[in-house]
Amino acid sequence: MRKTILILLAVLLLASCATETDIDELNADGSPIWTTIVPESSKYVYGVGRAKLSTEANSANSADANARADLARKLQSTIKEATANYTNDSEGSLLDAYEQITLQVVNFTMQGVKTEQRWSAPDGTVWTLVSLEAKSLDDQYALAANDYLNQIEEKKAETEDRLAALLEALAEEEGDSQMVKDAAEKKASELISGYDSQLEGIDVEALAAAIDAYTTSLGYV
């Protein structure tokens, strides 16, 4: 039994090692391996882009942008999959908050993207390979989520201050201003309720942990 378990573990280990792509490997025609298959890694998420424009410089810039866009889509998809248990039942302002945080995470994270390689094909097409450490995603999510919640706290405080100032000004006005007061209080109440929903509903620590667990389940270390 013990021997069988050891054999199974060895097979699993070899299988996991087999998924590692050597990005320096070349195809038979001399092109990089990553121009025909998306590299797999236990550490990095890769993005690949290509472009063929009027000049090599323009092609390179466009290929870089396309590679980053490819990586950004993968990051966005990973975050949505990892946090699905929290976001699937959300609606209204809370759902909007999750979407905004995801976009903010991608924007933050993309600042750490590394250009691994760039290759020019004989036909003038330029290829670019970019990478990002997958296990940094949970930390980036926590940073972005906390930053977003701080912005919501500020918006809530600003709304409360504006309402107080308006009510004070209306109190000094002559005539019946009750209708304006009621409308202002209703609008402010709706805004504050939405802010509270986000502040109370977003558990940054749990969400970051979910992303960490998800990337681990994908084989990233």
Assigned token pair, 159: 């709304």
Per mean pLDDT, which range of 16-20, 62-66, 78-82 is the poorest?
Answer: 16-20
The Cβ-side half-sphere exposure at 183, using a 13 Å CA radius, reads 5
| In the chain, where the domains are located | 22-217
Q: Return the CA Rg of the chain.
A: 25
Confidence band, pLDDT 50/70/90 cuts, at residue 190:
very high
Q: What is the mean pLDDT of residues 147-157?
A: 95
Kindly give the interhelix angle for 56-82 and 137-172, rounded to the nearest 10 degrees. 80
* Phi, psi dihedrals of residue 20, rounded to the nearest 5°: -75, 125
The Cβ-side half-sphere exposure at 153, using a 13 Å CA radius, reads 8
Q: What is the mean pLDDT of residues 76-87?
A: 91
Confidence band, pLDDT 50/70/90 cuts, at residue 31:
very high
> Mean pLDDT in the chain?
87
How far are the Cα atoms of 110, 192, 193 from residue 163, in angstroms, in the given order? Answer: 39, 11, 14
Going by C-beta distance under 8 Å and a sequence separation of 6 or more, which residues neighbour residue 25?
32, 33
How much is the pLDDT for 221? 82
Which tens digit of pLDDT belongs to each residue from 102-132?
999 998 888 889 999 999 999 999 999 999 9
How much is the pLDDT for 8? 35
pLDDT at 216 over 80: yes
